[in-house]
Structure 1
Amino acid sequence: MTRTLWLLGIGLLAIMLVPLFLGGSGLFAQLRDFPLSIFIGMLGMVVVCWQLNALKLRILLKGRARGLNQTRAFGVIMATEFAICATPGGTGGPLTLITLLTRYGMKPAQTTAIFAVDQIIDLVFFLSSMIALTLYIVTKAVDLHIGWLMGVPILLLSVGLVLIGLLARYHDRTIRLIAQSLVRFRIKPERRQRLNRRLLVFRNSLVDTLGMPRKLLIGAFVVSVAHWMVRYSVLYFTVIGLGQHLDWSWTFLVQMLSMAAGQLTLLPGGAGGTEISSSALLAPILGQATTAAAILIWRAVTYYFYLVAGAPVFMVMAGRPLLRRILKGKSEDETPSEAS
């Protein structure tokens, strides 16, 4: 727990120090002149993102979570996103979602399957967006170096989706292989039986979710697209508030690449990597001081606000025991066990 708190503190410090080092004395003048109305509007955009994610969650659950209306789903999303922002690599997010949905009759393995489908939908969106942006960059000759740079994440996303497709196609063989591995590693029989049962529940829930009517899956994808379009427009409005102008597509690309780079740091919220990579893409266009101010405001909305607004919701819905568990990095084995 202490290690995670230290990492969170380092992450928060990195988010502030990188822009301060980059912008120098000109940073504070930029922040002082930023329109309050635009800042409040961007906070409202984050609230819209939470609502969209809550709607997507309810679509994927398909009525299986008893009593989970839009308001409660909104709270679940806020608490989950707080946990993602507060833990290294976002590891606390899935555990928080599993624990909260258990209270609505969902088994942990079922929730894990829902989370997996949600991630697949996001991967499809990111892959489609990167391909479209790459084609735009190449045809418009915006910056061919950036076009080649995007080839790496496109390749990784494509490989990831292919592997997921192969696992889905040959899931029976995969389950047998995992069961044999548990025996080979001498896992205790009762624990092996519990893990195998969870794996089967996960498989069945995944098949059930992916087997939903096509219009529901398309609806979940459309909601996901709307969420990321709103979320990745925050930097665009930040630049406008600073009196500058960039193409929306460029700010979209900057956020995609910088957030991906931030994940490599394994610090909460991708701290450090996100700031450094975004500054490298923005500074040649906006200048040092404006770039520093843009990064600080953008991260305040898309990171600090998630922590400040999500913390009280997390404490009300989950409480201190779960907070201690996610900060210690405990596994889902400690979540309430599902019914047989």
Structure 2
Amino acid sequence: MSAVLLSGWRMRAVMLSVIAAVVLYLGVALWAGAAEVWHALALVGIGGLLLALSLSLVNYSLRFTRWQLYLRRLGHHVPLRRSAHIYLAGFALTTTPGKAGEALRGVLLKRRHVPYTDSFAAFVSERLSDLIAVVLLSMLGFTLVAQGGWLILAGASAVALALVILSWRRPLARLQTWTDRPGQRLWRTVHHLATILLQARRCHRPTLLAGATILSVVAWSAEALAFWWILNAMGFEASFAFAAFVFALAMLAGALSFLPGGLGGTEAVMVGLLLLHDMPAADAVAATMLIRFTTLWFAVILGLMALGTNPEARGREQPEATA
């Protein structure tokens, strides 16, 4: 595994998130009753686990398709297989605040001559597209559930604010020009930020925005479907709209908390909503642990495997230009 890209604070971030998750899940399992939680997990079985993992792969595949659309819109044609390898490697640092560690893809793409401003613009566009999808999914079951309105409003407000900022082409261009002052760190940082936002504008033209939103909604619906399957396998009769609402609202809470991978915030909201709707505590904890393993932690495992076998991470490859 790359001694450079997965060392220092990056390795500490991964290890601390794993330790925190183990402590958190063990604590809530003991609180709910370890034997009861294990029984609930057994109800899902290996078949249910494999189904959930398969639906997560659908989610990752659709999000990668969206990533490729962003890169192509920015003028970069990274070979499909290599781009997929780099995209998966970014999941290694998903358990960082706001998933910021996934910007690791920019480091790997830089070695394929993709500027940081472009890869970060694609990253920002991804996060915004995910937020749009999660807000839309949370609205799906809002008529069924009274809780969580303020979270949905906060998410929708964040989306609206981001889209408004991206619509300010002239102010952003002027800011970019005005802060182009070599040697001054603050101005250089603001200059790069303005450049990234200007590039991200290109990923939010109406047609691409509509296509990316559809991909995002379907991608996150796949994981919501896995959550629905898990709930019903445990004997909790729930509609897909309810399952999608609980799943999406928990994801939204985790994203807005800026906790590493939403760890703690996502689980608390998910368990809390299930308890409010009369699901036994052990089942609520088991369902939450299982969906988090098959979504968040499955992605981290795949990311670590991809990073460990990535030529760009090892510095072994001097690839051709991609733009």
TM-score (norm 2): 0.80
Q: Secondary structure at the match of 2:86?
A: helix
**Counterpart for residue 163 of structure 2:** 165
The answer to whether the 8 Å contact 1:179/1:196 transfers is: no
> Which string of whole-angstrom CA distances, capped at 9 and with x for unpartnered residues, describes residues 105-124 of structure 1?
32111112222222333333
Q: Tell me the amino acid that sits aligned with residue 205 of structure 1.
A: Q
The verdict on how the C-alpha distance between 1:32 and 1:168 changes in structure 2, with shifts beyond 3 A counting, is closer
**Counterpart for residue 224 of structure 2:** 232
CA distance in 2, matches of 1:261, 1:168: 24
The answer to whether the 8 Å contact 1:65/1:104 transfers is: no
Q: Tell me the amino acid that sits aligned with residue 316 of structure 1.
A: T
The answer to whether the 8 Å contact 1:34/1:242 transfers is: yes
**Counterpart for residue 128 of structure 2:** 120
Matches within 5 A, 1:75-154: 75-85=85-95, 87-94=96-103, 96-134=104-142, 137=143, 142-143=144-145, 145-146=146-147, 149-150=148-149, 152-154=150-152
> Which string of whole-angstrom CA distances, capped at 9 and with x for unpartnered residues, describes residues 6-41 of structure 1?
354123321332233223431222223432112111
Aligned-residue CA RMSD in angstroms?
3.1
Deviates more, 1:21-30 or 1:290-299: 21-30
Structure number with higher helix proportion: 1
The answer to whether the 8 Å contact 2:37/2:286 transfers is: yes
Where in structure 2 are there 5+ consecutive unaligned residues? Answer: 1-8, 316-323
CA distance in 2, matches of 1:101, 1:217: 23
Alignment match of 2:308 (pick from 278, 297, 315): 315
Where in structure 1 are there 5+ consecutive unaligned residues? Answer: 322-340
Which contiguous aligned blocks of 4+ residues in structure 1 show a shift greater than 6 angstroms? none
Alignment match of 1:68 (pick from 79, 83, 107): 79
Alignment match of 1:41 (pick from 51, 57, 60): 51
Q: CA deviation at 1:175?
A: 5.2
The answer to whether the 8 Å contact 2:139/2:245 transfers is: no
The answer to whether the 8 Å contact 2:137/2:244 transfers is: no
Q: CA deviation at 1:216?
A: 4.1
CA distance in 1, matches of 2:190, 2:155: 29
Aligned length: 303
CA distance in 2, matches of 1:99, 1:314: 12
The verdict on how the C-alpha distance between 1:163 and 1:92 changes in structure 2, with shifts beyond 3 A counting, is same
Alignment match of 2:245 (pick from 250, 253, 266): 253
Deviates more, 1:171-180 or 1:285-294: 171-180
> Which string of whole-angstrom CA distances, capped at 9 and with x for unpartnered residues, describes residues 264-316 of structure 1?
65543222222222111112422122222212221221122222222111222
Q: CA deviation at 1:249?
A: 1.1
CA distance in 2, matches of 1:169, 1:264: 23
Q: Tell me the amino acid that sits aligned with residue 126 of structure 2.
A: D
> Which string of whole-angstrom CA distances, capped at 9 and with x for unpartnered residues, describes residues 214-246 of structure 1?
544433222112101102222111123323321
Q: CA deviation at 1:92?
A: 0.7
Q: Secondary structure at the match of 1:25?
A: helix
CA distance in 2, matches of 1:273, 1:190: 38
**Counterpart for residue 272 of structure 2:** 280
The verdict on how the C-alpha distance between 1:17 and 1:162 changes in structure 2, with shifts beyond 3 A counting, is same
Q: Tell me the amino acid that sits aligned with residue 199 of structure 2.
A: S
The verdict on how the C-alpha distance between 1:278 and 1:172 changes in structure 2, with shifts beyond 3 A counting, is same
Q: Tell me the amino acid that sits aligned with residue 247 of structure 1.
A: S
The answer to whether the 8 Å contact 2:167/2:201 transfers is: no
Does residue 314 of structure 2 align to residue 303 of structure 1? no
The answer to whether the 8 Å contact 1:53/1:224 transfers is: yes
Counting aligned pairs with the same residue, the percent is: 21
Q: Secondary structure at the match of 2:44?
A: coil
